Chain A
Amino acid sequence: MTATAPPRSAPEAGPSGGKSAGGGRLRLRVPTKLRQIGLPYLLLLPALALELLIHIVPMVFGIVISFKKLTLFYISHWNQAPWANFDNYHTAIKFNQPVGQALLHSFWVTCAFTVLSVGLSWLIGTAAAILMQDSFRGRALLRAIFLVPYALPVYAAVITWTFMFQQDTGLVNHVLHDQLHLTSNKPFWLIGDNSFWALLTVSVWKSWPFAFLALMAGLQNIPRELYEAAAMDGAGIWQQIRRITMPSLRPVNQVLVLVLFLWTFNDFNTPYVMFGQSAPKQADLISIHIYQSSFVTWNFGSGSAMSVLLLLFLLVVTAVYLLLTSRRRSDADA
C-alpha cells in the first residue's frame, strides 16, 4: 500500500503551485483555497446532475412506491395511492405464506443460477484467455469468433436458442436424441426441471465472452519477463498460471466477478425471451418474478418492495465481497 502513496500526493502538489500564479493574474475574488476545493466539484456537477436525474430520482421514487398501495385502482392517479407502510414488505417476507414462499424460492433459484453462471463464465473465459495468450496463426480470427455471442443482439440470440431447445423440432433434441441416441425419449428443455439448465446454458454462452475480453486485456499487462524468469527457475505451466497469472489478474478478477454477478443476478432479457411472462418454477429468476408481481398482476407497490429488498441484498453482498477481497489484497500487498 505504501507504494501507492507517493503518486497520489504528487498530482495534488503540482496544480496547486501552478494555480496560485494563474489565479493572481485572473484576479478572481474567490479565495485560492476554496477554488481548489471547489474545482473538482464544479467539474463533477454535470455528471452529478445527470446521475441524480437518471439514477437517484427514479430509485428514490421506486422506494417511495414500495411503501404505497399502488394497485390498478390507483395507477391513473398514483400520487393519491394510500400509504401501505410496511405492508408490501411484510407480504414479501412472510416466507410461510405463498407470496413470500414464491419469492424465497425464486431467490434461491437465482442464487444457484448466478453462482453457476458466473463460475462457468469465468472459468471458460479464463481458460480461453490463457490459451490465446501466445500468438499463433488464426488467433485474431478465433478471438473475433469468441466475441460473437457478446456482440449479438440479446433478443435475436436468445430466441434462436429457444427454437433450438424446442422439444419436438429443436436442434438440441435432434442432436441428443436423433443423432447421438443419448436419451431414450426427447426431453423438454423449456418447461419442467431441465428449464434451469437450458437457461444456464444460454446465460453462460452469453456472458463468457465478456470475461474472456476483460481477462485478455488483463493478461496483456503481465510482463513477459516474469514468465521467462519463472521458466528459467524451472516453473511448469501450472506453476506459472498459479504463481504469476492469477495473482497478476487479481484486480481484473475482482471487478469482473462483481460485474458478472450483478448482471447475471439482475438478468431479465434472457429468461423473458426464453419463457415469456411466466417462467417455469424451476427457472423462476427474481427479475422475472418481480416483473410478474408488478406488471402482470398490476401491483406496483408489492413489486417495488421486492425490488428494494433485492437492492439491499445486492448492496450487502457487494460490500462484503469488496471488504473481503480488498482486505486480502491489502494483506497480500503488505
Chain B
Amino acid sequence: MRNSSTSSRLLAATALVAALGLTVAGCSSSSDSGKSSGGKSSSSSGSLAGTTITYWASNQGTSLDNDKQVLTPELNKFTQQTGIKVKLEVIGWADLLNRILAATTSGEGPDVLNIGNTWSASLQATGALMPWDDAAFTKIGGKSRWAPASIAAAGAAGQDPAAVPLYSMAYGLYYNKKMFADAGIANPPKTWDELVADGKKLTKNGHYGLAVEGGNGSENIHHAFVLAKQRGSDWFDSSGKATFTTPANVAAVKQYVDFVGANGIAAKGDAEYAQNQTITDFATGKAAMMMWQSAATSIKAHGMTPDQYGVVPVPTQTANPTGDAAVTSMVAGINLAVFKNTKHQDAAVQLVKFLTSTPEQKILNGTYGSLPPVTEAQSDPAFQTPDLKVLGQVLSTSAAPLPQVPNESQFETLVGTAVKNLFADAAAGKDVSTDTVKAELDKAQQQMPAS
C-alpha cells in the first residue's frame, strides 16, 4: 500500500513536471500560426481585383497607431487603382522577427512584409522570401531605379536580392549648436580624436559630450561595424566564417566602449540605455552629441527645433580618408519582401510596385523622416533639408552594408551582447582593456555556428 501510493504520486508528479517543463520545450516547436492567418481569401482567376492580401508593416512612426494612420490612406489609394484590398497589420520591432520565423516555419504568413535590411541575408537563407530576379524587378520598374548601396543591403552578394529597399537611413553625428558655442568649439569634430577632445570640453556639471545606447545590442553592432570598417576590418571572412577577434575589431569595440570608460565623455548611465534614451538626452541638452539614424522626427517630438542642432557625417580615424577608412555609416533601412508561399504573388508584386513608386516613396519617406532608396524620389524638396542632405550624401558616398551573411542575426546577438557586457563593466568602474575586449569577443565567436 505504501509503495503503490508513493509510486502513483511519483507518477502524477512526473506528469506535472513534464507538463510544466513543456513551457520551455514546447516553445521551440509550436508556432503561433493562428495569428498569421488571413490574406488567403480565394481570388477570381485572371483579374486581381477583389483579391485581399495581407501586409505586415514594421513600426516606422511614433507608434503602431501612427503607422496605421500614415499607411491606411496610401493603401486605400492602392485599392482604388488596382481593386486589390490590403489587410494591414503594423508589428512592433520586438515581435516582428519572431512573427516572420513563425510564418516561415508554418508556411502561413503575410503576402507582403517589411524586414529590417540587416536580416535580408538570414531570411534569404531560409528560403521564405521570393527572390527578386531581373524579371521580377522589371515588373516594378527595374533594378536601376534604386541606389546601389540600398540594393547591396537586400541579400547576400551574388544572389538575387531577397527584398526591395523601401526606406533608407544613415547614421550622422548630431550636435547641439548652443552647447558647442558655449564651450567655444567652432566646428563639429571630423576625427575621433577631435570628438573625444570636444567631448571632454563639453562634459561638465552633469552634462556630457556624447550619448550612446549601450544596452541596445543592435546599436552596438552598427557602431562597432563602422569603427572596424574604418580600420579596414570585417566581421566575417569571404567564406562567411566569423573573424570577431582580429586586432582591428578588438580596437573598434574598445574605442566605442571607451566613450563611457577611459574617455568618460558619455554618462555611465548610458550603459543601460535601450529605449532610445539617447535621443531624450540629446534633445533635452543632457548630451551635446549623438550618433543616430534619421532622428529628426524623434528629436522634434522631444521639443528640440531643427535650428538648434546640426548634422554632419560621423567622424573618421584620420582626416580626409579614402576607401574603407572613409566609411561613416552602415546602410540602414527597411526592405519590402514578398512571402514565397503567397497565393497572390501577382497582387503582392503590385503592392511592392505601388509602395516603391516615386510618388509613394516621396510621401512615405517624407512622413517618416527617412530617405527614399529610389533615386528618382531623392530630388524632392522634402529631402533637401540640411540634415537629410547630409544623410543622403552619407548614404550615397560613405555607407557600407552590414555583413550580408546567413549568420548575421547571431552576429548581432552575440557581439551586441558582448559589447553590452563591456559597457556594464565600464559603467561599474572596471577596467576595459584590449585583453578583456578580446576575451569577450572570443567567447562570442566560439558560440557562432560552424557553418
A101 (CB) vs chain B CBs: closest residue: B443
> Which residues of A are found within 8 Å of B416, using beta-carbon distances?
278
Report the bound CA distance from A276 to B421 in whole Å.
Answer: 14
In the complex, which of the residues A5, A287, A295, A311 contacts B18, with contact meaning CB atoms closer than 8 Å?
A: A311
Question: Is the beta-carbon distance between A310 and B21 smaller than 8 angstroms?
Answer: yes
> Which residues of A are found within 8 Å of B1, using beta-carbon distances?
1, 5
Q: Which of B24, B274, B428 has the most CB of A within 10 A?
A: B24
In the complex, which of the residues B25, B421, B424 contacts A311, with contact meaning CB atoms closer than 8 Å?
A: B25
In the complex, which of the residues A63, A77, A281, A299 contacts B421, with contact meaning CB atoms closer than 8 Å?
A: A281
Asked if B355 lies at the interface with its beta carbon under 8 angstroms from chain A, I say: no
Asked if A62 lies at the interface with its beta carbon under 8 angstroms from chain B, I say: yes
Q: How far is the CB of B241 from chain A (nearest CB, A)?
A: 16
Question: Is the beta-carbon distance between B126 and A75 smaller than 8 angstroms?
Answer: yes
Question: Is the beta-carbon distance between A315 and B18 smaller than 8 angstroms?
Answer: yes
> A1-B1, A59-B18, A304-B29 in contact; A266/B13 too (CB < 8 A)?
no
In the complex, which of the residues A77, A307, A315 contacts B27, with contact meaning CB atoms closer than 8 Å?
A: A307
Q: Which of B25, B417, B423 has the most CB of A within 10 A?
A: B25
In the complex, which of the residues A188, A296, A303 contacts B427, with contact meaning CB atoms closer than 8 Å?
A: A188
Asked if B79 lies at the interface with its beta carbon under 8 angstroms from chain A, I say: no
> Which residues of B are found within 8 Å of A123, using beta-carbon distances?
none
Question: Is the beta-carbon distance between B126 and A326 smaller than 8 angstroms?
Answer: no
Question: Is the beta-carbon distance between A298 and B21 smaller than 8 angstroms?
Answer: no
Contacting chain A: which of B46-54, B101-109, B187-195?
B101-109
Question: Is the beta-carbon distance between A62 and B29 smaller than 8 angstroms?
Answer: yes
Interface residues in A, total, Cβ within 8 A? 66
> A318-B13, A318-B17, A330-B6 in contact; A58/B22 too (CB < 8 A)?
yes
Q: How far is the CB of A71 from chain B (nearest CB, A)?
A: 7
Report the bound CA distance from A58 to B447 in whole Å.
Answer: 27
> Which residues of B are found within 8 Å of A166, using beta-carbon distances?
272
In the complex, which of the residues A63, A266, A330 contacts B20, with contact meaning CB atoms closer than 8 Å?
A: A266
In the complex, which of the residues A188, A191, A266, A330 contacts B21, with contact meaning CB atoms closer than 8 Å?
A: A266
Report the bound CA distance from A55 to B409 in whole Å.
Answer: 31
Q: How far is the CB of B236 from chain A (nearest CB, A)?
A: 15
Question: Is the beta-carbon distance between A99 and B126 smaller than 8 angstroms?
Answer: no
> Which residues of B are found within 8 Å of A281, using beta-carbon distances?
421
Report the bound CA distance from A281 to B107 in whole Å.
Answer: 35
Q: How far is the CB of A231 from chain B (nearest CB, A)?
A: 35
> Which residues of B are found within 8 Å of A307, using beta-carbon distances?
21, 24-25, 27-28
Question: Is the beta-carbon distance between A314 and B21 smaller than 8 angstroms?
Answer: yes
Asked if A135 lies at the interface with its beta carbon under 8 angstroms from chain B, I say: no
Asked if A240 lies at the interface with its beta carbon under 8 angstroms from chain B, I say: no
Q: Which of A193, A281, A318, A327 has the most CB of B within 10 A?
A: A318
Asked if B369 lies at the interface with its beta carbon under 8 angstroms from chain A, I say: no
Report the bound CA distance from A59 to B428 in whole Å.
Answer: 42
> Which residues of A are found within 8 Å of B6, using beta-carbon distances?
322-323, 326-327, 330
In the complex, which of the residues B28, B268, B269, B406 contacts A65, with contact meaning CB atoms closer than 8 Å?
A: B28
Question: Is the beta-carbon distance between A280 and B421 smaller than 8 angstroms?
Answer: yes
Asked if B26 lies at the interface with its beta carbon under 8 angstroms from chain A, I say: yes
Q: How far is the CB of B205 from chain A (nearest CB, A)?
A: 15
Asked if B223 lies at the interface with its beta carbon under 8 angstroms from chain A, I say: no
B428 (CB) vs chain A CBs: closest residue: A192
> A98-B446, A99-B447 in contact; A76/B29 too (CB < 8 A)?
no
A190 (CB) vs chain B CBs: closest residue: B272
Report the bound CA distance from A323 to B6 in whole Å.
Answer: 7
Interface residues in B, total, Cβ within 8 A? 61
Question: Is the beta-carbon distance between A262 and B413 smaller than 8 angstroms?
Answer: no
Interface string of A275-317 (1 = CB under 8 A from B): 0111011000001001110111111100110011011001100
> Which residues of B are found within 8 Å of A55, using beta-carbon distances?
18-19, 22, 26
> Which residues of A are found within 8 Å of B340, using beta-carbon distances?
76
Interface string of B112-129 (1 = CB under 8 A from A): 000000000010011110
Q: Which of B21, B28, B451 has the most CB of A within 10 A?
A: B28
Q: Which of A4, A75, A262 has the most CB of B within 10 A?
A: A75
Asked if B10 lies at the interface with its beta carbon under 8 angstroms from chain A, I say: yes
Asked if A268 lies at the interface with its beta carbon under 8 angstroms from chain B, I say: yes
B340 (CB) vs chain A CBs: closest residue: A76
Report the bound CA distance from A191 to B28 in whole Å.
Answer: 27
Question: Is the beta-carbon distance between A310 and B24 smaller than 8 angstroms?
Answer: yes
In the complex, which of the residues A58, A167, A327 contacts B29, with contact meaning CB atoms closer than 8 Å?
A: A58
Question: Is the beta-carbon distance between A298 and B122 smaller than 8 angstroms?
Answer: yes
> A280-B424, A297-B409 in contact; A78/B105 too (CB < 8 A)?
yes
Asked if B43 lies at the interface with its beta carbon under 8 angstroms from chain A, I say: no
Question: Is the beta-carbon distance between A188 and B25 smaller than 8 angstroms?
Answer: no
Question: Is the beta-carbon distance between A59 and B269 smaller than 8 angstroms?
Answer: no
Question: Is the beta-carbon distance between B25 and A296 smaller than 8 angstroms?
Answer: no
Q: How far is the CB of A255 from chain B (nearest CB, A)?
A: 9
> A188-B427, A314-B17 in contact; A287/B272 too (CB < 8 A)?
no
Report the bound CA distance from A314 to B24 in whole Å.
Answer: 12
Report the bound CA distance from A297 to B267 in whole Å.
Answer: 31
> A75-B101, A188-B272, A191-B424 in contact; A62/B28 too (CB < 8 A)?
yes
Question: Is the beta-carbon distance between B13 and A61 smaller than 8 angstroms?
Answer: no
B444 (CB) vs chain A CBs: closest residue: A98
27 residue pairs bridging A and B, Cβ less than 8 Å apart:
A65-B28, A65-B29, A72-B126, A73-B451, A75-B105, A76-B107, A76-B340, A98-B447, A186-B269, A190-B272, A191-B420, A192-B424, A192-B427, A262-B20, A262-B21, A278-B420, A280-B420, A280-B424, A290-B28, A295-B101, A297-B409, A299-B410, A303-B27, A308-B25, A310-B21, A311-B18, A318-B16
A-B pairs, 5 with minimum CB distance: A62-B25, A311-B21, A191-B424, A98-B446, A307-B25
What is B's interface to A at a CB cutoff of 8 Å?
1-2, 5-6, 9-10, 13-14, 16-30, 98, 101, 104-105, 107, 122, 125-128, 215, 217, 267-269, 271-272, 274, 340, 406, 409-410, 413-414, 416-417, 420-421, 423-425, 427-428, 443, 446-447, 449, 451
